[in-house]
């Protein structure tokens, strides 16, 4: 199996078995500050709401509800796996790295050591119309994270 086929399989698996899906079914951890963001991609019809809970300087939970194409749903699932347990600064770095890779139009090679399964979206960078699909949950998570961090400072 080639690396491209492996990446395609990761995306398919995550789009079918969504990790972190079910925002309304799970409460945020007790004592955590949280933020929530709703994003819409009118071009593709992707829609997602992401909640990020932060406790002790770490992402204690990321949950989401959404509907859309397999790329957007798989990306949200992968994001959940990456986010939980990371320090806020680490999570912010991963979001920035993912964004840079997707905006590169294929010029930046994904580092699986940094991005884990999110490296599977490297090929999406070559398709400008699909970049928003892969980024929508990450944009929502970034906004929700900023809200949660601001809530800790108040």
Residue 3 has pLDDT above 60, yes or no: no
Domain boundaries, the chain: 3-153
Going by C-alpha positions, the residue among 122, 139, 134, 141 that lies closest to residue 53 is 141
Give tens-digit pLDDT for 62-107: 999 999 988 999 999 999 999 999 999 999 999 999 999 999 888 8
Q: What is the pLDDT of residue 38?
A: 97
Give tens-digit pLDDT for 23-47: 888 888 898 999 999 999 988 899 9
10 Å CB burial of residue 134 (0-12, 13-18, 19+) is: buried
Confidence (pTM): 0.91
Class of CATH domain 3-153? alpha beta
């Amino acid at each position: 199996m080639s690396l491209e086929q492996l990446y395609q399989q990761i995306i398919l698996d995550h789009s079918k078995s969504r990790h972190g899906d079910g925002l309304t079914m799970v409460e945020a951890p007790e004592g955590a500050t949280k933020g929530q963001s709703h994003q819409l991609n009118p071009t593709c019809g992707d829609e997602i709401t992401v909640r990020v809970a932060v406790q002790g300087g770490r992402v204690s939970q990321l949950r989401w509800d959404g509907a859309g194409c397999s790329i957007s749903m798989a990306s949200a699932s992968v994001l959940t796996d990456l986010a939980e347990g990371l320090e806020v600064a680490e999570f912010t770095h991963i979001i920035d790295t993912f964004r840079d890779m997707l905006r590169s139009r294929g010029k930046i090679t994904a580092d699986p050591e940094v991005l884990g399964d999110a490296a599977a979206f490297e090929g999406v960078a070559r398709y400008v119309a699909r970049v928003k699909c892969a980024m929508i949950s990450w944009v929502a998570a970034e906004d929700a994270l900023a809200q949660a961090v601001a809530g800790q400072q108040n």
